[in-house]
Amino acid sequence: MSDRENLQERAYVFLRDAIVSGELEDGSQHSIYQLAEQLEMSRTPVRDAVIQLAEAGFVTVQRNRGFRVHGPTVERLRDIFELRLLLEVPATFYAAASGGDELPEKLRTATSGMTTALAEGDILGYLLHDRAFHEHIASAVGNRRLSSTLEGLREVVRDPGASSSFGVRDPGTVIEEHEAIARAIAQGDSRRSAEAMREHLVLTGTVLMDRLAQSRGESADPDWSTRLAGAFAHQGV
């Protein structure tokens, strides 16, 4: 990775975490020039990071006016998880039937890596293996646009405290859910694979929405996922 790419990644992580944590408030407007000065780097990597954030849905770039922040709201979280359900559940259905002989081993390696990382207290390792698990399934479809879209959606709902904790859910439970998905894919059971992925996403989305709603003194719809139930009927999910 070049020095410019390193600076861009640093700027991206800083801005993303500041937005997700609420440090940069929803609707606030910011100057790329001022942020570059704050981060003590040139405008180019900051500008590239802002463009990357715009592609992920964190900001809107405004010509000659910097960018406007789109902070997390319960409604936005629901939109993101609904989109993940619409994309990642069918992708898992496909992967179980057509993912190839190497996919089950890749998924076992990812879940084993999560388990080892958890036992060793290796938060970064745990998160990297978690991400790899979902990336392997998306990649099995063979559509680069799908893979990049899902990666962007996962980034939007990334826990700002993930660098210092295992996330908002019990990591042991998350590993069990991943293992259930991996087993069903290894067995070539498309219906069960898709069902297990849907359960995993619904549980994660519900926890994140509840936590955000509580922090804002709001309430989240516990039945948010049922609106799309008909979309999965053809899969038996």
Helix, strand, coil percentages (3-state) for the chain, rounded to 5, are 70, 5, 25
| Of 65, 71, 38, residue with least CA distance to 53 | 71
**Percentage of the chain with pLDDT > 90?**
55
Query: Over the stretch 183-209, which tens digit does the pLDDT of each residue have?
Result: 999 999 999 999 999 999 999 999 988
Q: Rounded mean pLDDT of 88-109?
A: 96
CATH number of 74-235, picked from 1.10.645.10, 3.30.450.30, 1.20.1560.10, 1.20.120.530: 1.20.120.530
- Chain mean pLDDT for the chain: 88
* 57: phi then psi, degrees, rounded to nearest 5: 90, 10
Do 166 and 118 form a contact (C-beta atoms < 8 A)? yes
Q: What is the CATH number of domain 3-69?
A: 1.10.10.10
Going from N- to C-terminal start, the domains of the chain cover 3-69, 74-235
Paired with 197 in beta bridges are none
Query: Over the stretch 82-97, which tens digit does the pLDDT of each residue have?
Result: 999 999 999 999 999 9
| pTM for this model (two decimals) | 0.80
| Of 196, 201, 173, residue with least CA distance to 185 | 196
pLDDT reading at 37 higher than 90: yes
